[in-house]
Structure 1
Amino acid sequence: MTTGKEHRMTSAASAADLAPTAYAWEIRATGLKVRAGRRRMAVDGLDLALGTGVHGLLGPNGAGKTTLIRALATVLRPAGGTLELLGESAGGRSGHRALRRRIGYLPQEFGYYRRFTVREFVEYMAWLKEVPKAEVPAAVQRAVERVGLADRADERMKALSGGMVRRVGIAQAIVNDPVILLLDEPTAGLDPAQRLRLRKLLQELGTDTCVVVSTHLVEDVAAACTDVVLLDEGRLVFQGTPDDLAAAGGPGHMGDSPLERGYSALLRGPGRERGAW
């Protein structure tokens, strides 16, 4: 049985690739500020450090989860503070082409060409991520197999269900064998069986990858994540294990499970009272 590290694609490595890892954390933010639009500071003074493992990103609507994911994907520039990805600064206006080759990203909604087959689309994304040409066929085949779409690889995207399209999105995010994998609501549109398979895949990927999963489904965090990050109003409210999150709540808090009650307790602490909705 191969390990995750043995499963990574082999390619010609530069001296920089072969050098010892020069960073303590795959993701490190200090006082990070990121705007959503021109005015609203959706991430406001965030301190966060994430390494190898599966990190569940939780929070109510408007908490700043998607804005944070987009900043980690280098789509948005920080408005303040510092953000380091794989030891490199992700701030400023300079390009991040080399850095993006090592990141996989699935946004909440991703664009695709409806007439492309699954294989053609994932191949195209591999090309954009500069996967070496000789390695593309094997990388694409492995990616579609890992999301359970090997038997649909030659079907056109327009013929797929919403859940299958979402799985293609996950395939394109992992085709470059990323060191940082960012998934924004990856279980949207997946049926229960598909969600179970995704949880297993996340656990496999988390053995040697820094995986950040934004989700509204607390049970997905319990099943797949080694670590939970809870945001509210752009700030860090909690970081710890799923067991730590469950221990934060009690019988008097809202929720149908210990995790949901812990989530409610942390969001309804002093100064965080909320209405019924």
Structure 2
Amino acid sequence: MHDHRKGPSQMTAVSAADIAPTAYAWQIQATGLKVRVGRKRMAVDGLDLSLGTGVHGLLGPNGAGKTTLIRTLATVLRPTEGTLELLGESAGGMREHRALRRRIGYLPQEFGYYKRFTVREFVEYMAWLKEVPRADIPGAVQRAVERVGLADRADERMKALSGGMVRRAGIAQAIVNDPSILLLDEPTAGLDPAQRLRFRELLQELGTDTCVLVSTHLVEDVAAACTDVVLFAEGRSVFQGTPDELAAAGGPEHAGDSPLERGYSALLLNPQQVRGTW
């Protein structure tokens, strides 16, 4: 007998995860974070940082500690002191981060791959490592390679690609699991101007529902793609604010070819003049 008490809304299965409230205020939250590299040097030295949905630029000179911070947020390195929460979970100490890593996308400056793999095989392999459900992998891989403009090269071997294309394959593996946190370390290295433009468009799309942190030393990448900027120097944040606020910190007396570059130069020379930061 047909049960007329079941309406259309009752026929749709909804998991507890779909209706559960978000249990954290920030996707990334660090307090007094310190990370030692080697025996003595603190590459991250007392960082307070709170980042939510959007595209955040991590800007700073070479050697500032940006890569160490990104690696720590990716759970590759352990904090030496302080607290770090990712998606509401503690990321300090010796805890197993397997479940957390499923929700993180990470592109390091240098990443390894089997040269005989095709682009599709490489991204499939990374999806498997991230424990994307087997049935979902083909579709997830296709979406990822399309988003980085490699659909027409998906069945070419990695060893046959240019440096910029390898970088785009690296971005594809970082987004294949639809991460809640996306960490990109110098993602535009090797990309030509047209590819950088498409990448910025992709960042803006991803930032609508993802916490994206982009480490770079290219000020103009920040201007075009980021909703806010963290200026990082000697292991510490010396500025947090919008690109417009960064530009306003400089003047004609400071080095740079654009207002953003002049603001960048001014703040690195004199962090005490920061105004309106969060």
Give the TM-score, by structure 2 length: 0.91
Q: Deviations over 1:105-125 (max 9, x none)?
A: 000000000000000000000
Q: Match of 2:59?
A: 58
Paired with 1:104 and 1:270, the residues of 2 have a C-alpha distance of: 31
Name the SS of the counterpart of 1:63 in structure 2.
coil
Runs of 4+ in structure 1 off by over 3 angstroms are: 12-18
SS at match of 1:254: coil
Partner of 2:39: 38
Show the counterpart of 1:248.
Answer: 249
Show the counterpart of 1:149: 150
3-state SS in 1 of match to 2:141: helix
Q: For 1:13 and 1:247, how far apart are their aligned partners in 2?
A: 48
Aligned equivalent of 1:161: 162
1:114-263 superposed matches below 5 A:
114-263=115-264
Aligned-pair CA distance for 1:39:
2.1
Deviation readout 1:171-229 (Å, 9 max, x if unpaired): 00000000000000000000000000000000000000000000111001000000100
Query: 2:178 and 2:127 mapped to 1: Cα distance?
Result: 10
The match for 2:77 is 76
SS at match of 1:151: helix
The amino acid that maps onto 1:41 is M
Deviations 1:229-254 (A, max 9, x none): 00111011000000000000000000
Unaligned runs of 5+ in 2: 1-12, 274-278
SS in 2 for 1:83: strand
Q: CA deviation at 1:61?
A: 1.3
For residue 179 of structure 2, give the secondary structure of its aligned residue in structure 1: coil
Number of residue pairs matched?
261
CA distance in structure 1 between the aligned counterparts of 2:193 and 2:248, rounded to whole angstroms? 26
| Higher-Rg member (1/2) | 2
Q: Percent identity?
A: 87
Q: Relative to 1, partners in 2 of residues 1:111 and 1:17: Cα closer, same or farther, differing over 3 Å?
A: farther
Per-residue deviation, 1:19: 2.0
Q: 1:84 to 1:117 in 2, by over 3 A?
A: same
Task: Report the residue type matching 2:255 in the other structure.
Answer: M
Q: Aligned letter for 2:221?
A: D
User: Is contact 2:251-2:263 (8 Å) kept?
Assistant: yes
> Could you list the per-position Cα deviations for residues 72-96 of structure 1 after superposition, in whole angstroms to 9, with x for gaps in the alignment?
0000000000000000000000110
With over 3 angstroms needed to count, the CA separation of the structure-2 counterparts of 1:81 and 1:17, relative to structure 1, is farther
Do 2:239 and 2:271's aligned partners in 1 also have CA atoms closer than 8 Å? no
Paired position in structure 2 for 1:3: none
Q: Secondary structure at the match of 1:214?
A: strand
Counterpart residue number, 2:4: none
Q: Structure 1 residue 85 and structure 2 residue 83: aligned?
A: no
Equivalent residues of 2:238, 2:271 under 8 A apart: no
| CA distance in 1 between partners of 2:187 and 2:14 (Å) | 31
User: How well do the aligned residues superpose, as a CA RMSD in angstroms?
Assistant: 1.5
Farther-moved stretch of structure 1 (33-42 vs 200-209): 33-42
Correspondence for 2:3: none
Q: Which amino acid aligns with 2:58?
A: L
1:100 match: 101
Measured after TM superposition, the shift of residue 16 of structure 1 is 4.9
Q: In the aligned structure 1, how far is the partner of 2:213 from the partner of 2:271? A: 28
The structure-2 alpha-carbon separation of the partners of 1:234 and 1:22, relative to structure 1 and needing over 3 Å to count, comes to same
Separation in 2, partners of 1:111, 1:49: 30
Take 2:272 and 2:247, find their aligned partners in 1: how far apart are those partners? 21
Deviations 1:121-180 (A, max 9, x none): 000000000001111000000000000000000000000000000000000000000000
User: 1:95, 1:39 → 2: CA distance?
Assistant: 26
Q: Which residue is 1:265 aligned to?
A: 266
Cα distance, 1:17 vs. partner?
6.1
**Cα 1:243/1:270, change in 2 over 3 Å:** closer
Which letter maps to 1:178? P
